[in-house]
Structure 1
Amino acid sequence: MLLLVPADVLRPRRPDEHFADEAQAARYAGIEVAVVDHDALTGGGDPDQAVGRVPAGDDAVYRGWMLRSEQYTAMAGALTARGVTLRTTPRDYQRGHELPGWYDTIREHTPDTVWSDGDGRESFAAAYEEWGSGPAVLRDFTKSMKHYWDEAAYIPADAGTAGAWGIAARMRELRGDDFTGGFVIRRFESFSGAEVRTWWIGGECRLVTAHPDTDADLPPADLDVSAFAPAIRALDLPFVTADLVRHTDGRWRIVEIGDGQVSDRPRSTPAEDLITALIG
């Protein structure tokens, strides 16, 4: 295994401080670590230069800041030219990173969802009409603006198409250049308690942690994720996270699937635990 992490902006030969503990844990475990220039990958730089410090190797795993699917594809191409094989292919990255890639496979475990083709008003209106009725939560293919709940995330049942578009337009404005794919409309469900992040490698749950947004709220000791295993195995993805939260009726629900390479680790979980899980 080869671990790739973003380079520190000021000290480009060293790992970014946010991922330094994972890099150190990997080295202690005998895993080679290399840095990549994340800013070059996301800022239109040369992908070959961005991975210029990466040695050849198999089973490379990226642990870093989020990349758009096309940016990950560019990184993968540059790595291939250097003799580096990523564990997660560009196609698999997109399937795990963007909601349309995973929704159908886990739909019985997650809120009902529709999405638009692009960010235009007409395509949003078509998706909203398909949606039907009831309160909804809005996001794009990769992220919501939940911290702007009333103005850019929650669509009340009585919003109407014009009102819903006003919320969508505000979300689009806030997402800016990070907006990905189209508008996603998800049925609002009533949840209680903090989210739990589960880490799945090769279709097996290897780690259960707090969610990074609430890292002091540790998962309940009796949490059983086995009910989700068949669906997540069916995704056939090498490394994903599934965020769970308890419905007010007592069921656990999946609220998000993410590519594990760009899913943040809560600080309450030691880096060694994640590296051990990745080694298998």
Structure 2
Amino acid sequence: MLLFPADPLRPRRPDDHFAAEAAAARAAGVPVALVDHDLLASGQDPARAVAAVPTCGVAVYRGWMLRADRYADLAVALAARDVRLKTTPEQYRRAHELPGWYESLRSVTPDSAWTTGADRPAFDTARQALGGGPAVLRDWSKSAKHHWHEAAFIPDLADGDAAWRVATRLRELREDDFTGGFVLRRFERFTGAEVRTWWVDGRCALVGPHPDTPGATPTGEVDLGFLIPLVAPLDLRFVTVDLVRHADGRWRVVELGDGQVSDRPATVDPAALVTALSRAHLEPA
């Protein structure tokens, strides 16, 4: 079954953001159940959050982002109802947090260094490990790219105080959602629109635009031949990989994320995503 967040004001209906996917799933004969995302995200009462999920079955979550520990709570609450998530909490953490996937994709993604925690000495150690030059800052799971100059872009890693001001602002903006620690990624010059690719059990099931640029199409064909032998060994059930073309023409990985919490661009037919999942035959591991 597919699990969607319930509308906070109309708990018997899916959240409007996921309503089209839920309708497409039902039309394809895929069972749909609703969970209370607010209860899950707060950690207050996971059992009550999944009370509307039928007992006994296997599920894929399609909803708002959850911290890895909250996803683990979801798995435990569902297990008490004899429902198993196809993506385990360990797999979710590896996909959701950059340190879990970086080494496997190191050759095709910008050089990165990170901290555990948010203290200045650890940040400086990571900063110095990358050397000088510009970098992009984020935490283990997300950036503040919409606050580019104040909380994401570092013009020169050699300027420790200026870099720390950006880090401090990122920490402020992320508040309680700040995850793991700081991640510094070497800045690379890209061209054209990002592409979001959807993978099921190591195979690409769907290629489309990125949610930030839903109407944009990539320049030239997206050749995934270089990526297949890197994604498959990760042993992740359902992920997205965001790609963009480097100024020198190479395709580069911007991000890998768990597909359960990856946004679907409005220009991608929701039935296409449901069909992609169905055709990939996500059998229990």
Q: Same fold (TM over 0.5)?
A: yes
- Give identity over the alignment, percent: 59
Tell me whether 1:99 sits opposite 2:123 in the alignment.
Answer: no
CA–CA distance in structure 2, aligned partners of residues 156 and 172 of structure 1: 18
Q: How does 1:95-244 map to 2 (within 5 A)?
A: 95-157=94-156, 159-220=158-219, 222-244=221-243
**Local SS of the residue matching 2:102:** helix
What is the deviation of 1:45?
A: 2.1
CA 163–220 in structure 1, closer or farther in 2 if over 3 Å, else same: closer
What is the deviation of 1:135?
A: 1.0
What CA deviation, in whole Å up to 9, does each residue of 1:202-221 have, x standing for no partner?
00000001001100013456
Q: Which range moves more in the overlay, 254-263 or 217-226?
A: 217-226
Specify the alignment match of 2:65 in structure 1: 66
CA–CA distance in structure 1, aligned partners of residues 57 and 219 of structure 2: 36
Specify the alignment match of 2:247 in structure 1: 248
CA–CA distance in structure 1, aligned partners of residues 270 and 219 of structure 2: 20
CA 11–129 in structure 1, closer or farther in 2 if over 3 Å, else same: same
Asked if the contact 1:6/1:15 (under 8 Å) is kept, the reply is yes
Specify the alignment match of 1:86 in structure 2: 85
Asked if the contact 2:157/2:163 (under 8 Å) is kept, the reply is no
Specify the alignment match of 1:42 in structure 2: 41
Asked if the contact 2:192/2:218 (under 8 Å) is kept, the reply is no
**Local SS of the residue matching 2:227:** helix
Specify the alignment match of 2:283 in structure 1: none
**Local SS of the residue matching 2:277:** helix
TM superposition score normalised by structure 1: 0.97
Instruction: Look up the equivalent residue of 2:93 and give its one-letter code.
Output: Q
CA–CA distance in structure 1, aligned partners of residues 223 and 43 of structure 2: 43
**Local SS of the residue matching 2:18:** helix
Instruction: Look up the equivalent residue of 1:206 and give its one-letter code.
Output: A
What is the deviation of 1:14?
A: 0.9
**Local SS of the residue matching 2:257:** strand
Asked if the contact 2:194/2:244 (under 8 Å) is kept, the reply is yes
Instruction: Look up the equivalent residue of 1:41 and give its one-letter code.
Output: L
CA–CA distance in structure 2, aligned partners of residues 85 and 119 of structure 1: 34
Asked if the contact 2:115/2:183 (under 8 Å) is kept, the reply is yes
Specify the alignment match of 1:51 in structure 2: 50
Tell me whether 1:27 sits opposite 2:21 in the alignment.
Answer: no
Q: Which range moves more in the overlay, 127-136 or 265-274?
A: 127-136
Asked if the contact 2:131/2:158 (under 8 Å) is kept, the reply is no
What CA deviation, in whole Å up to 9, does each residue of 1:206-246 have, x standing for no partner?
00010011000134562211210110111110000000000
TM superposition score normalised by structure 2: 0.95
**Local SS of the residue matching 2:242:** strand
Asked if the contact 1:56/1:82 (under 8 Å) is kept, the reply is yes
What is the deviation of 1:159?
A: 4.9
CA–CA distance in structure 2, aligned partners of residues 102 and 158 of structure 1: 24
CA–CA distance in structure 1, aligned partners of residues 240 and 97 of structure 2: 13
What is the deviation of 1:59?
A: 3.0
Across the aligned residues of Structure 1 and Structure 2, the Cα RMSD in angstroms comes to: 1.1
What CA deviation, in whole Å up to 9, does each residue of 1:54-109 have, x standing for no partner?
01243310000000001100011000010101010000000000000000000001
Give the unaligned 5+ runs of structure 2. Answer: 280-285
Instruction: Look up the equivalent residue of 1:265 and give its one-letter code.
Output: R
Asked if the contact 1:208/1:219 (under 8 Å) is kept, the reply is no
Give the unaligned 5+ runs of structure 1. Answer: none
**Local SS of the residue matching 1:71:** helix
Asked if the contact 2:135/2:186 (under 8 Å) is kept, the reply is yes
CA–CA distance in structure 2, aligned partners of residues 169 and 219 of structure 1: 34
CA 122–57 in structure 1, closer or farther in 2 if over 3 Å, else same: same
CA–CA distance in structure 2, aligned partners of residues 30 and 56 of structure 1: 18
CA–CA distance in structure 1, aligned partners of residues 100 and 51 of structure 2: 31
